[in-house]
Structure 1
Amino acid sequence: MSAIRERLGETALLGVLAALVVAVGVAGPLYADAAARNVLAASAAAATPGEQSLTVTVEMTARNGIAAALAELRGSIAVVPAGPGVREIRGGYRRGSVTPRESAAPIEVLLAARDDVCAHLALTGACPARPGEVALAATTARRLGLVAGDTFAFQVQPTAPPATLRVTAVYDVDGAGGGLTDSYWAGRRELTPVPLRVENPVFTVPDTLQTLGADTFQATLDHVADLTAMSPDDVEALARTLRSAEEPGRGIAVTGGLSRLLPQIVADRDTVAVPVVVGAVLLLGVAWWVLLLGAGHAAAERRTQAVLGALRGAPARHRAALTAGPGVLTVLVALPVGLVLGRSLAQLLAWATMAAPGPVPLSATALAVAGGLTLAVLVSVVFAQVRVHRGGVLDALRQVPARRGAAGGIAVVVVVVLAVAAAWQLRTGDAQVLGLAETVLPAAAPVLMLVAAGLVAARTVRPLAGLLGRAGLRTGRVGTALGALYASRRPGMDRLVALVVIVMALLAQAAYGWQGLQGAEQEQARLALGAAEVVRVRAPSRAALLHLVRQADPAGDWAMAVARQESSTGTTVAVDTARLARVAYWPAGAGVPADRVARQLRPTANPSLRITGAALLLDLTMPETLHIDLPLTAVLDGPRGEPVIATAAAVPGSGRHQLRLDVPACAEGSGCRLAWLSFRFDPGGVVLHGIAQAAPDAVVADAVAMTDPARWRTTIGAAGVTLSPLPGGLAVDYEPVDPRYPDPEVRVQVADVPLPVPAALAGEARLAHDRTVVRGEMLSPLRRPVDVVAAAPALPGAGTQGLLVDLEYADRANDSMDNIADLQVWLAPDAPADALDRLRATGLVPVSAETAGQRTEHLLAVGQGPGSRFRFGAALLAVLLVMVAVSLVVAVDGPRRGAELAALRTQGVPQRAVRRATRSGYLLIVAAAAAGGGLLGAAAADDPPASSVLPVAVLVGAGLLLTATAYVVGTRLSRVTGLDLEDGR
């Protein structure tokens, strides 16, 4: 203890450095754990219900009961996802038809049973509890004309007797159920209640499915993961379970994004871990370097004392206790301090780099690292003591510095060899160089190369300083010569220079890397969103979305209607092309301007048939072969884009006559657009002679238009439907491909859209030149042909894999009023502050909004962002440690250097020369090393960002800080006893 009290300053310094080493080692794994939890939380917040689920669908027999069939389905799955946060949901469904009370044309609905479904519906009435009881969506109830307490007939197929079902409740699709964001629905489009869909699912109990008179039903088994209730280890375990699952058997459809989301979360966690490890090793290496300097300094201070003790006959154990004892005791005391400091450092870095980091608890890994580092620090301190005490007694009494062994040179050679191997691997892609791991060496390669360059550059310091000193003597610059010659004779000078060069180079690389990553993620966020801000909305239909957005922004300066559909093959983005160039973010590398693409996506098409009267009049001739009433339905887009449907029955035997369909909504505003006419059964050769309107009276399509084959088409993909232009009109015939399964609906579509639909493709430019026709999902589950008229490497909203089409044309070519696409409104950067209020005023219902900045933050939270931030922060902390190293080296050299210069001053060296040698020697060395390291790191940066303001500012600040430290500490030499620089000669 007396030795500690005698050298209290050196002991305290050693304890602080040992605690810093332990703290840095502990902070790395703790931050990595916090980053992994942050990745999981960010992924959970951004995941859609479909991405959090794994669904199994298979057709099964209902003869043995629904419960038995579901149990059999579960038993047939080899690997069942299970674990914390994983919920299993069983159910089934069957499609059938229901005839509305005020219409002769039945509509198809889906009758479904699902575990605990009522808890996820906003019900008005009683939850179905017995067979035959059902809950209807409010939209479906209005379409069918039903209320709670009513009964209706549900028929699964024409040959089966209808089942009578009773309505016990009506659920609100806009209520608390929130099917669009509720993970309970597992992303099942057919089961999720959607405000835009009229025929929403009808929910019942499982036993109802057995009373329908059908032999089979679609059984469903869903597994939904609540990521907020899972730890990173739980996610990894579940990902391994899903990877081990075998291919599903024939007839079993396995969908859902959980099997893709979990590996992505694990990959993002690993992506975060690599730069965290690199940054932690960097910081740990610098801290250890400074520790060795401090330990060597403390040992050197006790060297003479230990030798004198040996000369006076002190026992070896006493000398060992005198030399190594204080250091060992100090390191042991520093262990708990380092643990607390490391946890605080990890918490501080987490708060600085993560949106919601939460607490950072100590882990078993961190404790193990702390124990291992403490042992390593003990060994390092003892080694430093042994190394300093080597040599003769005279050297110790004269305080001659210990000679440098060959270990330093060998270490430099090893680092250079590893750097060359890493560079070779990066160049050739060979992952087996030196047997190193495929991911570790590429990640460490830039660091290894910078460290090797710094070590090699430091080896040239002493020879160059000697040349500079001799040149100064020849030219009479005594002060410069004294400073340079001292640097060339100082054995540890190259180590200090190497430390400064390496840390500044790594700081430059980290700063440029962080700046570049921000720019790359910002570009990706803009491209993924498509605009500065994207608002998800609810609207009656896609056509209504288009109309209402144009109403909110008549000039088309800041808002654009968009429908976005994602699939396994890419993303289809349908936009209002008239506003594309003004609102969307168009990538600079597209190679084609946005306005030209907009024109190519909307070529001239046939004019639409518009109804501006209160009734639609069809001039038609019924065939004599038809003996039953023929329900005929007209489907139109209303004045505000809402669906307008009118049905009437054509009576057989009436010959040529006029059929009236009342559409009072079309008498308002700009009227309605006729989308299609549909026949419930085989029309048997019905001839359409013309279309007119009443109130006011007008001709919509005369005989010339009816007989023009370019004005009419069948449904895309429909088989057996024939449209034949006759001299007097358009004949409609139908011949089913399989008479056993006739199509329940035969349509005559208005051909007011170019087919195939023009599209811009994310891909090679040549695809637009050869006019390649591909197939894409055009706002529906069915893939339809598209005509590639433009191509770009990436497209707004679609990224590098997808299509861009005109929204109005895509809506018309969809041949359906049903919607599965995500309806959005894209806002320009200069959109007014009350943009959402203006959208609400038109009747649109905003669901959520996301800006490009928010998406950028999300990408930085789940990708390389946390690791890059940690690495940047570690480099900044390393600069602070280098300041300690500079102060330590200068302080150690102070007395010895002061004595040497005092002797030179006595021998007649001018005052000005001595002042320059003392105050500028270390300053110039540190400044040159800092500048060289910064330039080296900047030159080695990958893909430097367009703006270098942040990296340059950080490097200049760090260089000035190190230089100022060297200057301030160096001026202490002027106050050393025997060296009074203020006295002139």
Structure 2
Amino acid sequence: MIALVRLMLTARRVQAALIVLLSALATAAAVAGPVYTDAVDRAAAVAEVANTPPAERTVAVQAPIDSTQRDRFDSLANDLADLPRFTTVVSAVLPVLGLESGKGEISWFTYRDGVCEHIEIVSGRCLMAAGEVVVGESTARRLGVTPGRSVSLAWARYDEISRAWVVAGRPAPTTIVGVYRPRDRAEPYWGRSGYFAPTAPDTTAEPVFTGRPSVDALEHESDNRSIEAIPRPGAFDADQLPTLATALDELSETLGSDDETARFAALTDELPKLFERVRASDALTRELVPLAGLPLIGLCWLVIFVAVAGATAARRHEQALIALRGAPRVGRFWLAAGESVIAIAIGAPIGYLAGTLATRAVADARFGPIPVLDLSPAPGALVAALVAVAGAVLVGLLALRRDLASPVVDLLRRVPPRGAAWRTAAIDAGAVVLAIVAAVQLRAFDGQLLGLGLLVPGLIGLAVAVLAGRLLVPLAGRIGRRAVRRGRLGLALGALQVARRPGSQRLFVLLAVAVAVLGFATTAVDVADRARADRAAVETGAERTIQVAPVDSGALRSAVRAVDPDGRFAMAVGLRQVVDGPQVLFADTAALPGVAVWRPEYGGSPAEIAAALRPPGDEPIVVKGVELALTVDYAPPTASGTELRLTALLRPLAGGAPVRAPSDLVTPGRHTWTMASQACVDGCRLAGIEAVYAASGGDVAELTIRSLAVRTDLAAPFTDVVPAFTTEQWRGRDDVKLTAEDGGVHVVVPGAVIQPRPTVVMPAGTPSDVPVLSGGPPPKSGEAEGLDSNVVAIRPVAQGRALPRIGTGLLMDLGYAERVATGTTDLTTAEVWLGPAAPADVEQRLAAQGLVVVGHDSVAAAADRLDARGPALAVWFHLLAGGVAVLLAACGMWLMAAVDRRRTLDDLVALRRQGLAARTGGSWVLWTYLPVAVAAVVTGLVAAVIAWAVVGQYVPYFVDDDFALAAPTWPRPVAIVLPAVVAALLFTTVAVGLRRALRVRD
């Protein structure tokens, strides 16, 4: 038996080689999915880590501690040291006075483990003993200090009443021994400190480094300490992340279980967000890759079935002779099956090796670096290979079933008998029912791609193909008979060949399913590309953005308007960190139409939105001069009196940082308070008058504001800014009640509860609310954090589904938000958005206005970041699978012709002897395959469109859903036409090649 099978393989080695090739392809297709998934997981983890700021990759335990807690806090370093591939760094920071020349300007007295290894000494030397410090290069240049200079430093604390730093500890003599610069400002060693971030001011960014003994010796009640775990290379490798996540969970549990430690120390850990993004990316990859990989495996099985069935049909006469000689059924089975099973078994390891190497090579070329020659099995690859081989054997045996069960008389016939109609109808109905069940399951599970849901595109393609295939045979028969009557023998012979051979219907189904897989792939890739392009435009807000160092909103707006007065190409934009409530985007909306990349999801046109966000307001109270004088009546509630301070809140009309004109302590009786306001020589808008009362325990201070006057120079008399103080001209913020009293405004200022809270009196013309554009439902409270972090009332003027840059949240006009702001309006995130008309030297122009550029972004850069994330890499596998599917179908087409070659040549020879022209014989072969291929291309495209209509809305494109954007519904026409053209050209080439290969010469 074994010898016979070996002889059969030798005699039909071409067919055996084709089965080996198909088995290898099936195994390679099965292995490609897990191998590609593993490669995507690694690449996506790298991308997610790269998109995570260095500070967020650091784990830290931070606490303000006193001397009694230092030893316990230091012991926590052992817990962080257990994190795999991390290095712990201990630091201590406290504010000191004595180095800076300005009154109340502090320096940060800082100890950090191993700091001398990470700084470069410009002059002098590094730390060696207690009482020594090194200062930053720019600080030394600004203060004019050199190594060897002695200074007296003292611990400082912030006084809430005076709003200034004051000495709180005994000064200690300190020697400056060196001037340094950091070796690498972005080095992971600096962790969360932000010492040298380009967004920090000089005086607070450059720490004064010293040793641990110096920090402990300086008299102070408390300091800020941290233990940071800094990642080393390899800490965030894909295979390391689960171990790291487990270690962090254990660390958090350990710290949380110690009540005493938990009372003063807090774990700062943003890595779980990174882990969650990586897990979400992995989950999406495991939905997207099988969505393309499983139909490809099924297609491989279908090709194997067609090949084995065709080869078996070609050996029907051989099977009949074996049966006539009395071979038992078991022997007949092994003789028939052994040839295919052995070929499949030989192809399996070849396919596993080739699939692994080829997939790794493709992944390396697409998004590497991937270790191409690493043959270690990817998770699930061996199981997938075994399933593919078992399926290949099963379909091969299924293809043998019919001929093994046929009587000898039927096996001796050249043309196999037609199968029972009920059987083929049942198979077709089963394919349709299975596709419907899979689609219903997909919708029943809210679009989750699992179970049969992963097979929906392939099953729909199969169902449409078998239904269309039912029309192929009768249609081909009718065309053949009509061609005979018209004398077109080539077409007639080809059409009748299609109608008589069952293999033609199998070929049609194979080609149609392959085209459906390719069509679905190109559709998914095109829609995903457009969705990422839309997302990139939303993430950036404009074609290009420039990040600048933290700056006051007025200064930012003034600088940008100086560069672009008409708002044609530049727009000032800012964000503030919002503790609670919706994120707010502040923009100088006058430039919105010319700069922002506007989308329908934002609601309304940019010109209409800009006009609605900047409604005309009352004329402001303008203060123009060098000094202000405020007259108040004040009677303290107690004989001894308590501190009451007043401050005028001003904003320059030309733009710029707010001006605070503070008073000394307000004394009892009528008091004329003079405030210097040199910044208002060119004019300032009066934002309000702030009162702070230091008493506690429910006490209140009562005062009456009589008048506000200004003088243009020190020699000129004061003139009233407001003719008379009345309650009609003023209002209080935060439910402050104002009452009229003898030509003035009476104000009740509450005392401190925990710490003093400002009471603000504002001009009545100050807007009571701020118009906003809401991305999503506006907050039910009708309030949001304003530009100065104070809560303001909002008035939605329009509502969209999303907003540029922030997704859901609120958009306020920057200038209008300044009108209601009474506090500091520094922007932690300050940007300049640039439109298409921005000149090439726009950065130089902005720098000339005092803005410090610290970063850049663009729609193209945002798109590149999205292209590197898991879903984008995973969806690209669809295109790879579609291309392989069409190539596989073309191979199947050639294989069927090769299996049928002897019989076809015999028929052609017989017809030629009867006078058939050579040209007609060639056209017979062409018409046998070309119409089937053309019909399959059309059917496959229809199936792809139907599959996309069912599945497309559930295909995920992004790891997160931060931006409420509706993905494109349908692809561009080229994405539908292109697969049809490619498949048609390929199949036509194969058909023409078959015509030449089967041509019979005279």
TM-score range, shorter chain: 0.7 to 0.9
CA distance in 2, matches of 1:534, 1:616: 40
Alpha-carbon distance, 1:516 to partner: 1.4
**Equivalent of 1:707, from 725, 741, 756?**
725
**Equivalent of 1:690, from 688, 695, 708?**
708
**Equivalent of 2:39, from 16, 30, 34?**
34
CA distance in 2, matches of 1:882, 1:854: 39
Cα deviation, 1:176-229, whole Å, max 9, x if unaligned, reads 6758x969554x899988425866697777888888998777776666767963
1:877 aligns with 2:859: no
Question: Where does residue 536 of structure 2 map in the other structure?
Answer: 525
Amino acid at match of 1:280: G
Cα deviation, 1:485-530, whole Å, max 9, x if unaligned, reads 3212212221111111112122222212221122222222212221
Which segments of 5 or more consecutive residues in structure 2 lack a partner in the other structure?
1-5, 695-700, 953-967
CA distance in 1, matches of 2:943, 2:410: 39
**What aligned pairs does 1:368-379 form with structure 2 within 5 A after superposition?**
369-370=384-385, 373-374=388-389, 377=392
Alpha-carbon distance, 1:960 to partner: 2.8
CA distance in 1, matches of 2:107, 2:745: 31
CA distance in 2, matches of 1:182, 1:712: 53
Question: Where does residue 931 of structure 1 map in the other structure?
Answer: 938
Alpha-carbon distance, 1:560 to partner: 0.7
Question: Where does residue 426 of structure 1 map in the other structure?
Answer: 442
Please say if residues 662 and 675 of structure 2, whose CA atoms lie closer than 8 Å, have aligned partners that are also in contact: no
Cα deviation, 1:741-771, whole Å, max 9, x if unaligned, reads 452877666787523332211125xx6xxx9
Q: 1:960 to 1:557 in 2, by over 3 A?
A: same
Name the SS for the 2:477 alignment partner: helix
**What aligned pairs does 1:564-963 form with structure 2 within 5 A after superposition?**
564-565=575-576, 567=578, 569-607=581-619, 615-620=626-631, 641-642=656-657, 649=664, 659=674, 661=676, 663=678, 685=703, 687=705, 689-695=707-713, 702-704=720-722, 707=725, 734-738=749-753, 741-743=754-756, 753-764=766-777, 774-779=782-787, 783-799=791-807, 801-811=808-818, 813-817=820-824, 819=826, 821-904=828-911, 916-941=923-948, 942=952, 944-945=969-970, 947-963=972-988
Name the SS for the 1:864 alignment partner: helix
CA distance in 2, matches of 1:582, 1:897: 70
Amino acid at match of 2:656: G
Please say if residues 618 and 688 of structure 1, whose CA atoms lie closer than 8 Å, have aligned partners that are also in contact: no
Please say if residues 97 and 154 of structure 2, whose CA atoms lie closer than 8 Å, have aligned partners that are also in contact: no
CA distance in 2, matches of 1:395, 1:780: 91
Q: 1:865 to 1:317 in 2, by over 3 A?
A: same
497-506 or 596-605: bigger deviation: 596-605
Q: 1:68 to 1:782 in 2, by over 3 A?
A: farther
Cα deviation, 1:426-453, whole Å, max 9, x if unaligned, reads 344479xxxxx97333343333223222
Cα deviation, 1:161-189, whole Å, max 9, x if unaligned, reads 9214667779999976758x969554x89
Q: 1:574 to 1:865 in 2, by over 3 A?
A: same
Alpha-carbon distance, 1:660 to partner: 5.5
Amino acid at match of 1:447: G
**Equivalent of 2:66, from 59, 62, 65?**
62
Amino acid at match of 1:422: A
Q: Percent identity?
A: 28
Alpha-carbon distance, 1:577 to partner: 1.1
Alpha-carbon distance, 1:606 to partner: 4.8
Q: 1:589 to 1:498 in 2, by over 3 A?
A: same
Cα deviation, 1:634-663, whole Å, max 9, x if unaligned, reads 676566725666767469689755635363
Please say if residues 173 and 194 of structure 1, whose CA atoms lie closer than 8 Å, have aligned partners that are also in contact: no
CA distance in 2, matches of 1:624, 1:138: 52
CA distance in 2, matches of 1:709, 1:130: 64
Alpha-carbon distance, 1:399 to partner: 5.7
Alpha-carbon distance, 1:793 to partner: 1.7
Q: TM-score scaled to structure 1, two decimals? A: 0.80
Question: Where does residue 270 of structure 1 map in the other structure?
Answer: 283
Q: 1:679 to 1:479 in 2, by over 3 A?
A: same
293-302 or 540-549: bigger deviation: 293-302
Cα deviation, 1:890-910, whole Å, max 9, x if unaligned, reads 233333234335545656778
Amino acid at match of 2:499: S
193-202 or 170-179: bigger deviation: 170-179
Name the SS for the 1:492 alignment partner: helix
Name the SS for the 1:364 alignment partner: coil
**What aligned pairs does 1:4-19 form with structure 2 within 5 A after superposition?**
6-19=11-24
**What aligned pairs does 1:180-579 form with structure 2 within 5 A after superposition?**
185-186=191-192, 194-196=199-201, 229-239=235-245, 257-297=270-310, 331=344, 334-335=347-348, 337-351=350-364, 353-354=366-367, 359=372, 361-365=374-378, 366-367=381-382, 369-370=384-385, 373-374=388-389, 377=392, 391=406, 401=416, 412-429=428-445, 439-470=450-481, 472=483, 479-565=490-576, 567=578, 569-579=581-591
Question: Where does residue 434 of structure 1 map in the other structure?
Answer: none
CA distance in 2, matches of 1:400, 1:700: 116
CA distance in 1, matches of 2:748, 2:143: 29
Please say if residues 155 and 218 of structure 2, whose CA atoms lie closer than 8 Å, have aligned partners that are also in contact: no
Please say if residues 156 and 214 of structure 1, whose CA atoms lie closer than 8 Å, have aligned partners that are also in contact: no
Question: Where does residue 965 of structure 1 map in the other structure?
Answer: 990
CA distance in 2, matches of 1:192, 1:438: 44
Alpha-carbon distance, 1:232 to partner: 2.8
Please say if residues 127 and 177 of structure 2, whose CA atoms lie closer than 8 Å, have aligned partners that are also in contact: no
**Equivalent of 1:155, from 143, 154, 157?**
157
Cα deviation, 1:865-917, whole Å, max 9, x if unaligned, reads 22221112211121111111111212333332343355456567788865653
Please say if residues 294 and 455 of structure 2, whose CA atoms lie closer than 8 Å, have aligned partners that are also in contact: no
CA distance in 1, matches of 2:738, 2:140: 35
Name the SS for the 2:989 alignment partner: helix
121-130 or 297-306: bigger deviation: 121-130
Name the SS for the 1:460 alignment partner: helix
CA distance in 2, matches of 1:705, 1:111: 51
Amino acid at match of 1:932: T
Q: TM-score scaled to structure 2, two decimals? A: 0.79
Alpha-carbon distance, 1:477 to partner: 5.7
Across the two proteins, how many residue pairs are aligned to each other?
948
218-227 or 289-298: bigger deviation: 218-227
Alpha-carbon distance, 1:587 to partner: 1.5
Cα deviation, 1:54-91, whole Å, max 9, x if unaligned, reads 666677x636332314647998xxxx896445566666
Alpha-carbon distance, 1:705 to partner: 6.0
Name the SS for the 1:346 alignment partner: helix
Alpha-carbon distance, 1:778 to partner: 3.0
CA distance in 2, matches of 1:121, 1:570: 41
Q: 1:948 to 1:223 in 2, by over 3 A?
A: farther
Please say if residues 650 and 687 of structure 2, whose CA atoms lie closer than 8 Å, have aligned partners that are also in contact: yes
Please say if residues 99 and 151 of structure 2, whose CA atoms lie closer than 8 Å, have aligned partners that are also in contact: no
Name the SS for the 1:690 alignment partner: strand
Question: Where does residue 964 of structure 2 map in the other structure?
Answer: none
CA distance in 1, matches of 2:794, 2:47: 36
CA distance in 1, matches of 2:222, 2:661: 34
Alpha-carbon distance, 1:822 to partner: 1.2
Please say if residues 569 and 837 of structure 2, whose CA atoms lie closer than 8 Å, have aligned partners that are also in contact: yes
Please say if residues 148 and 170 of structure 1, whose CA atoms lie closer than 8 Å, have aligned partners that are also in contact: no
Alpha-carbon distance, 1:965 to partner: 1.7
